[in-house]
Amino acid sequence: MEAYKRWVWRNRDYVHSLESLANGLTWLLPERFSESEIGPEAVTSVLGIITSVNDHIIETTPTQMHMGHVPQPSSFPLSLFITLLKDLETLVEVAAQQFYGDEKKWNFIAITEATKVLLRLALFRKSGYKMLLHGGENTNDVQDSDALDSQHRNGLSPKPGEHPVPGNIKNYHAHNPLNLEGRALFALNRFGESARTVSEPTWLYRVQHQQAIMEPPTIGAKKPSLSSFLSEKGVPGGLFLIGEMMFILRPLIYVLLIKKYGTRSWFPWITSLTVDLISNGVISYITILRQNNKEFCLSNIEKHELKRRKLLWALYLMRDPFFSKYTRLRLDGTQKLLEPVPIVGLLTEKLVELIIGAQTRYTYMSGS
């Protein structure tokens, strides 16, 4: 295993290239969205697991080489566990649908979502009640956002050429091509990253992360308990806990309501959207309090996470009953309009077919 870890680290660029190629080929597998075919999803899940494990090795191997030992079991990577579960959830959905039917498959989906909720709650508590990044797949290691903000206000900005390290950001997981939330856009993301001459902070975070993990470890601060967190952060901290808990619980609430009322009912759709709006609204309100010099503020990476969550609202356009009543009609109309156009009509037809196929999978459109 140690030899494999060293090989992955030394050939990380080659490994990512193979993963990108494999990800693209999975979309060409026959019967990709067939109700009775679990083979393609099994292949995709296995590739996803391999990718996630390799990403974890790439991130942790330098630390292990520097420290000379493997992390103890007490530091079990919950974020990796969440990523692996997300790699498996579509396979669970397809297998449950094939063997137990459309109605009973929701039992297995609910179990999967409940497991993710428990893992995220554990990670939320373990992190000292910091905002979950990318659903818990990225670790939020910013030491103290209040202290960073205080330094900024006091004029202690970085010197020219220096950049603040925004914590341990697991960028490979964030751009994991086999995570369910971003497979269809991964190729475009790869192209965009390669084409940038002045890159966004993603590559900078990666370099800073590698520099940070090669430095000798420091003794971490003791994680606050719930009572100490509330006493220190006050009302803004309490609002933050409410908003974050709603975000964590929202997918499970949505699945349980679908299980009870069905996918054609508007009640699960509206309830889920309401929970998302309230969750983001509560946490966004905290950023307004920051301007009034209150006791709680968000770091830059937490602000970016909040924007990412808002972008996920677009998935409501792809969820029933909204999709079947409105979005599907728009797609069909666009396809008929562009059908006479050479090449464009063919590409549009394939794209619409891909979108409709992906929409049939809850896990592709869950945003969880």
Highest-pLDDT range among 83-87, 140-144, 180-184, 242-246: 242-246
pLDDT for 191: 41
What mean pLDDT do residues 273-299 have? 79
Quick one: tokens of 253? 């609430």
Query: Would you tell me the crossing angle of helices 39-67 and 2-10 to the nearest 10 degrees?
Result: 90
pLDDT for 125: 93
- The more confident residue out of 106 and 139 is 106
Q: What confidence tier does 9 reach under pLDDT thresholds 50, 70, 90?
A: low
Would you say residue 295 has pLDDT above 50? Answer: yes
pLDDT for 3: 75
Separation in Å, CA 86 to CA 34, 49, 189, 314, 320: 20, 9, 20, 20, 21
pLDDT for 268: 97
Separation in Å, CA 186 to CA 20, 79, 115, 189, 190: 8, 21, 26, 5, 6
pLDDT for 249: 97
pLDDT tens column, 94-108:
999 989 998 999 999
pLDDT tens column, 200-257:
444 444 445 455 444 444 444 567 888 888 888 888 888 899 999 999 999 999 999 9
- The more confident residue out of 230 and 294 is 230
Find the range with the poorest average confidence among 10-24, 261-275, 296-310: 10-24
Find the range with the poorest average confidence among 187-191, 281-285, 313-317: 187-191
Would you say residue 149 has pLDDT above 80? Answer: no
What mean pLDDT do residues 250-270 have? 96
Task: Tell me how far apart the alpha carbons of residues 364 and 368 are, in angstroms, rounded to a whole number.
Answer: 9
Angle at 248 between CA 242 and CA 253, to 5 degrees: 100
What mean pLDDT do residues 147-152 have? 42
Q: What confidence tier does 199 reach under pLDDT thresholds 50, 70, 90?
A: very low
pLDDT tens column, 315-364:
999 999 999 999 999 999 999 999 999 999 999 998 998 899 889 899 99
Please state the domain extents for the chain.
2-365
Task: Tell me how far apart the alpha carbons of residues 295 and 235 are, in angstroms, rounded to a whole number.
Answer: 9
Would you say residue 150 has pLDDT above 50? Answer: no
Specify the pTM: 0.73
DSSP 150-199: HHHHTT-PPPTT---------HHHHT-TTSTTTTTTHHHHHHHHHH-SS-
pLDDT for 114: 97
Q: What confidence tier does 1 reach under pLDDT thresholds 50, 70, 90?
A: low
Q: Which of 134, 176, 174 is nearest to 22 (CA)?
A: 176
Query: Would you tell me the crossing angle of helices 344-359 and 328-338 to the nearest 10 degrees?
Result: 160
Question: In this structure, are residues 237 and 230 in contact, taking their beta carbons and an 8 Å threshold?
Answer: yes
pLDDT tens column, 14-36:
666 776 666 666 655 555 555 55
Would you say residue 90 has pLDDT above 80? Answer: yes
